[in-house]
Amino acid sequence: MGEGVRAHRPLSPSPTILNMRSDMDSLDRAILNEIQSHFPIVARPYAEVGARLGLSEAEVLRRVQRLCEAGVIRRIGANFTSRRLGYTSTLCAAHVSPAELERFVEVVNRYPGVTHNYLRRHHYNVWFTLIAPSASRLEEILAEISRESGVEILSLPAQEVFKIKVDFPV
């Protein structure tokens, strides 16, 4: 599907990830536990993580790179409360035929406000979230995607937001 495609099938873990789980040692697990919720906001964060765990900055970077390449780490970045920044968002669903899937995902992923998307085994088989600076811009983007792809999109904006903080101890 090309570079930038974020659609994936979360229904069964890839063999690489399954093998990686058994290949991770206690230091890999300690690094994951540190960076998922206690990532240091300093000039050299990997040196700080290393100092916390008794590792060099180079060793932490090497291990993080390996975990990224293996698909264990999907992304490293900040999370913001978009509504407090004046943005609006919606969950979107679409029924896309297999023949149209690659093209549809290509169109959707052109928009930087698409935070993630995925495939499901359901009539609405492609789901994605979209964030925009206003409700009107959000609707414009959805109309553009529909017009260009020929696929109707169901927009499901949140009525109420419940955020939970989740850590995955490894």
pLDDT digits (tens, 9 = 90+) for 129-142: 999 999 999 999 99
High-pLDDT (> 70) share of the chain, %: 85
pLDDT at 7: 42
Would residue 54 be called left, alpha or beta, if left means φ above 0 and alpha means ψ between -120 and 50 degrees? left
Query: What element of type H or E holds 31?
Result: helix 26-37
Q: How far apart are CA 9 and CA 7, in angstroms?
A: 7
User: CATH class for domain 15-69?
Assistant: mainly alpha
Domains 15-69 and 82-156 share a fold: no
Radius of gyration of the chain (CA): 19
Mean of pLDDT values over 7-31: 62
Provide the edge-to-edge strand list for the sheet that holds 114-119. Answer: 114-119, 126-132, 88-94, 153-156
Name the band, by pLDDT with cuts 50, 70 and 90, for residue 28: very high
Tens digit of pLDDT for each residue in 82-95? 888 889 999 999 99
Q: What are the structural domain ranges in the chain? A: 15-69, 82-156
pLDDT at 2: 34
Identify the architecture of domain 82-156 in CATH: 2-Layer Sandwich (3.30)
pLDDT at 8: 38
Q: What DSSP state is assigned to residue 92?
A: E
Of the two residues 16 and 123, the one the predictor is more confident about is 123
pLDDT at 21: 60
Name the band, by pLDDT with cuts 50, 70 and 90, for residue 15: very low
Is residue 149 within 8 Å of 107, Cβ to Cβ? yes
Which of 94, 112, 109, 98 lies closest to 154 in space, CA to CA? 94
Of the two residues 76 and 151, the one the predictor is more confident about is 151
Give the three-class secondary structure for 130: strand
Is pLDDT of 64 > 90?
yes
Which of 78, 46, 71 lies closest to 61 in space, CA to CA? 46
Mean of all residue pLDDT scores within the chain: 85
- CB atoms under 10 Å from CB of 28, counted, come to 19
Pairing assessment for the beta strands 88-94 and 114-119 based on DSSP bridges: unpaired
Q: What DSSP state is assigned to residue 117?
A: E
Q: How far apart are CA 108 and CA 101, in angstroms?
A: 11
Name the band, by pLDDT with cuts 50, 70 and 90, for residue 81: confident
What residues does 126 pair with on adjacent strands? 94, 119
Mean of pLDDT values over 109-113: 93
